[in-house]
């Protein structure tokens, strides 16, 4: 119907009641006209639905929904005056507002001020919260439907989106019209599901994002592309494009736009709490109480230094200067956020440990050739993941019906009763290799944002799919473990706001870890954000222990980014937070584990300055706390791992190996496997279980090929009595180590590698008959070891002389070995030459030497 014809029809139908003057505007749903209410002599706006929409909705449904909306009386809702059918044209009448819509304002100004955007959001949230309490969901929150008058927001068009939705997805699709507005539509609304208040919360989060950024969070060439982004892509950070936006406002947007309904704030009040402004607060009140972005930005007044060039965690733990390496090892144990013991009523996700692996697809060419291999790989991966005793993995027969079917992920998850889905692709990469990519999705079909890629030889995909599946499993299981732990930690709180805040804090903490010691300023900034979010989470639910435990984790992480002199104070701060956690729940096994872990770190940090009696008591106390934690919860894998280090430093290697094996066997999601494998290697190596040591070294290298620990262990194995020395291989391993070690640790580790290579050269020299060739090779060994000694700048703790002493002892240079060991013991008086009460096999050639016996007497 032509616009003019429709205007004339409307004038005729409403004559005597409304004097229709002119068109004010039109959109995809309706045309709005300015009119005068004849009886009351006031201006009104009449919205007339387009004929095709009117036909789809029908007069009866339209009248029913308009009556519901007309009951809404709220200062921030644009009320309805009248409605009806004007000769087949469905219309409703609203007060005429002398103002503009948020869309008009955005078109003119592009971005709104932070305070104005938040004030509009608060008023819209107030209106929606009122409507939700009446059982009414708007379904189409967007800038066009929010009017601005006299400095306040008015929400328009209640009831119309519901009427469209009630008309049925299929009918609307036939008319070519979208239900809702895709730019602001929640994932569940875009798939035609029944929607509740969470859909309005999602749309309001989108609108807040646009008011601040000047553009919506997701755009695309068509509706389907936009809907797909809402369902699949992570929400972009508002603070990247506009750093002045307060962090708590960004957190509120992230929370509102969670893919899963259950992960969003349950009410508008919770959403506003996350934003840092209670529902009903005014702009003035917010200006007085908010945390500004400026106050959160580091000032840079305190210079942050990189971590000290102390030996890396994968160094020889105690036989040479064990305390330092043990401290670094404790850091890499990486005690993680697990489910807490706090009281509460929100149940953990019952599907968190149920998973399905859909048959992998083939991308690119060679589909016919690669499809059978992709099928076998999928089935092997299902078997591999099924070995995790706490996971329930759907069998190949269970997922087979969804192999070729184009079924939405959330529908597959519901049909199979799982909380997570794994999907994968196999893609040719040149003629010789294929790339396997796996992605993890939640039960609502949302991409958890963590893809894992493995590149393998094409032939291995056909001949050794079991090994390939194992490698893919390794890449995937750490992601699964982190996701399960995060979901299960929700048990224990009644507050969705607290849970959302803590989830954001954990994300910020992981971002800090990704920056690493190479970028300490950025890492510390993210930890500061995590601390702020944790404080807010504790305020939202002060009886939930999980925020208190996470606060300990953040304090403990901070030690990686501060100067060495500040580590002690950081550990003291972490210990104070442990006591705060125990005040929330004195029975918390996780808090006890933390206390033991931090005591162990304090022990290692103070090994050169602390009174020996105090140090011994601290180590014993750490052991007691860790054992008590395990007694309360034997699933604390990290406690077993830390205990293995404690026992190693107590020179009880058999007990250390027992704890390490337990940790490794139970560490299904590989959160600590690198550190545990390293401990298993050195425990076996020190007790002369060389076959076991080779097994653990090889396992570590296979699972963690870029971890320098598993190149170092190969160097140590070249020095084992039953190993044939291979000088060429030793030099190759030393060169590889240089490429793997972080820059801050490279000077020390490069010198250590040369010392070890010198030991291999000396061992090979001993296989030669006495003569010029042997003498020349021994001279080479001594020279290489000397070159590896370094200076105090490279080796401030003077550990390299101890390593050099061991190397000289291996090829019979006993006087030089005793001289170097004497210097080492002077700098490291707590060193022990024994393993489990017996002399370490390294020193047996020295045991009858008087100088060495004097050293033994001094270190008993």
3-state SS class at 348: coil
Q: Going along 593-685, which residue ranges are E strands?
A: none
C-alpha span between 382 and 405 (Å, rounded):
20
> 479: which 2 tokens?
């992601």
Residue of 190, 192, 240 whose CA lies nearest to 215: 240
Quick one: tokens of 824? Answer: 């080492």
Query: What's the DSSP call for residue 313?
Result: T
Task: Give the 3-state secondary structure of residue 257.
Answer: coil
- C-alpha 188/C-alpha 198 separation (Å) is 10
Q: In sequence order, which residues have a C-beta less than 8 Å from that of residue 841 and are 6 or more positions away? A: 686, 688, 721
Question: Residue 646: what pLDDT?
Answer: 94
Strand segments, DSSP code E, in 335-469 are 354-357, 361-362, 392-393, 420-429, 433-442, 447-457
Cα(493)–Cα(564) distance, integer angstroms: 38
pLDDT value of residue 325: 29
Q: Count CB atoms within 10 A of the CB of residue 279.
A: 17
Residue ranges in the chain whose pLDDT is less than 50: 167-179, 281-348
What does the pLDDT read at residue 324? 26
Q: Looking at residue 673, what is its pLDDT?
A: 78
For residue 676, which phi and psi values (nearest 5 degrees)? -70, -45
* Residue 218, phi then psi, degrees to nearest 5: -135, 135
Whole-model pTM above 0.75?
A: no
- Supply the pLDDT for residue 288: 34
CB 551 within 8 A of CB 580: yes
Instruction: Please give the helix or strand (H or E) that residue 83 lies within, else none.
Output: strand 82-86
Cβ neighbours for 615, distance < 8 A, ≥ 6 positions apart: 603, 606, 607, 830
Nearest residue to 231 via CA among 176, 267, 164, 182: 182
């Amino acid at each position: 119907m032509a616009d003019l014809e429709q205007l004339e029809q409307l004038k005729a139908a409403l004559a005597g009641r409304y004097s229709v003057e002119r068109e004010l505007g039109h959109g995809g749903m309706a045309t709005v006209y300015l009119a005068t209410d004849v009886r009351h002599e006031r201006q009104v706006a009449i919205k007339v639905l387009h004929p095709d929409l009117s036909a789809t909705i029908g007069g009866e449904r339209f009248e029913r929904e308009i009556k519901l909306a007309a009951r809404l009386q709220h200062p921030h809702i644009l009320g309805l005056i009248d409605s009806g059918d004007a000769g087949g044209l469905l219309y409703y009448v609203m007060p005429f507002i002398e103002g503009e819509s948020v869309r008009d304002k955005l078109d003119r100004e592009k971005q709104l001020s932070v305070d104005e955007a938040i004030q509009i959001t608060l008023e819209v949230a107030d209106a929606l919260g009122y409507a939700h309490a009446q059982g009414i969901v708007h379904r189409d929150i967007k800038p066009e439907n929010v009017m601005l008058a006299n400095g306040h927001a008015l929400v328009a068009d209640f009831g119309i989106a519901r009427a469209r939705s009630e008309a049925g997805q299929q009918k609307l699709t036939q008319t070519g019209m979208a239900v809702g507005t895709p730019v602001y539509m929640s994932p569940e609304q875009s798939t035609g599901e029944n929607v509740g208040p969470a859909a309005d919360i999602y749309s309001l989060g989108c609108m807040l994002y646009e008011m601040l950024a000047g553009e919506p969070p997701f755009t695309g060439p068509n509706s389907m592309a936009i809907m797909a982004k809402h369902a699949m892509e992570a929400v972009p950070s508002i603070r990247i494009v506009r750093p002045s936006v307060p962090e708590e406002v960004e957190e509120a947007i992230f929370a509102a736009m969670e893919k899963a309904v259950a992960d969003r704030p349950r009410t508008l009040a919770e959403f506003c709490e996350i934003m840092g402004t209670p529902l009903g607060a005014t702009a003035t009140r917010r200006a007085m109480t908010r945390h500004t972005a400026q106050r959160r930005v580091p000032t840079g007044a305190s210079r942050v230094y990189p971590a000290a060039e102390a030996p890396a965690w994968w160094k020889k733990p105690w036989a040479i200067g064990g305390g330092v390496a043990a401290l670094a090892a404790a850091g890499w144990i990486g005690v993680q956020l697990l489910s807490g013991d706090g009281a509460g009523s929100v149940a953990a996700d019952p599907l968190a440990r149920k998973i399905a692996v859909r048959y992998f697809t083939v991308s690119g060419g060679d589909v016919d050739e690669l499809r059978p291999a992709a099928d076998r790989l999928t089935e092997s991966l299902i078997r591999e993941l099924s070995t995790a005793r706490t996971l329930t993995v759907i069998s190949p027969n269970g997922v087979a019906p969804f192999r070729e079917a184009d079924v939405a992920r959330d529908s597959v998850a519901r049909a199979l009763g799982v909380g997570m889905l794994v999907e994968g692709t196999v893609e040719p990469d040149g003629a010789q290799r294929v790339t396997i990519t796996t992605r993890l999705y939640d039960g609502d079909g949302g991409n958890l944002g963590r893809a894992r890629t493995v590149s393998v030889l094409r032939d291995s995909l056909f001949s050794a799919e079991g090994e390939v599946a194992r490698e893919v499993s390794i890449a995937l299981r750490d992601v699964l473990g982190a996701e399960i732990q995060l979901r299960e930690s929700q048990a224990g709180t009644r507050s969705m706001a607290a849970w959302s805040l803590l989830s954001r804090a954990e994300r910020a903490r992981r971002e800090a870890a990704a920056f690493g010691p190479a970028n300490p300023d950025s890492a510390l900034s993210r930890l500061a954000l995590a601390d702020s979010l944790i404080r807010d989470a504790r305020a939202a639910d002060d009886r939930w222990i999980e925020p208190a435990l996470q606060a300990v984790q953040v304090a403990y992480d901070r030690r990686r980014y501060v100067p060495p002199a500040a580590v002690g104070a950081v550990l003291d701060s972490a210990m104070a937070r442990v006591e705060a956690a125990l005040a929330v729940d004195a029975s918390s096994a996780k808090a006890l584990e933390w206390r033991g872990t931090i005591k162990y770190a304090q022990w290692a940090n103070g090994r050169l300055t602390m009174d020996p009696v105090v140090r011994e008591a601290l180590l014993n106390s750490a052991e007691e706390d860790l054992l008590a934690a395990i007694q309360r919860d034997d699933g604390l894998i990290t406690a077993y791992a830390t205990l293995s280090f404690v026992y190693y430093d107590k020179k009880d290697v058999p007990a250390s190996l027992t704890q390490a094996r337990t940790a490794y066997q139970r560490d299904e999601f590989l959160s600590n496997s690198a550190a545990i494998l390293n401990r298993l290697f050195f425990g076996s190596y020190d007790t002369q279980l060389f076959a076991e040591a080779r097994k653990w070294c090889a396992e570590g290298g296979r699972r963690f090929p870029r971890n320098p620990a598993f190149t170092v262990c190969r160097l140590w194995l070249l020095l084992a009595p039953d190993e044939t020395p291979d000088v060429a291989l030793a030099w190759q391993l030393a060169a590889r180590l240089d490429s793997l070690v972080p820059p801050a640790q490279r000077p020390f580790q490069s010198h250590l590698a040369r010392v070890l290579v010198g030991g291999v050269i000396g061992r090979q020299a001993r296989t030669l008959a006495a003569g010029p060739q042997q003498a020349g090779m021994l001279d080479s060994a001594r020279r290489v070891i000397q070159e590896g000694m370094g200076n105090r700048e490279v080796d401030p703790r003077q550990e390299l002389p101890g390593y050099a002493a061991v190397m000289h002892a291996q090829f019979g240079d006993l006087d030089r070995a005793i001289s170097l060991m004497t210097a080492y013991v002077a700098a490291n008086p707590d060193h022990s030459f024994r393993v489990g009460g017996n002399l370490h096999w390294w020193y047996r050639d020295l045991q009858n030497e008087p100088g060495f016996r004097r050293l033994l007497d001094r270190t008993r």
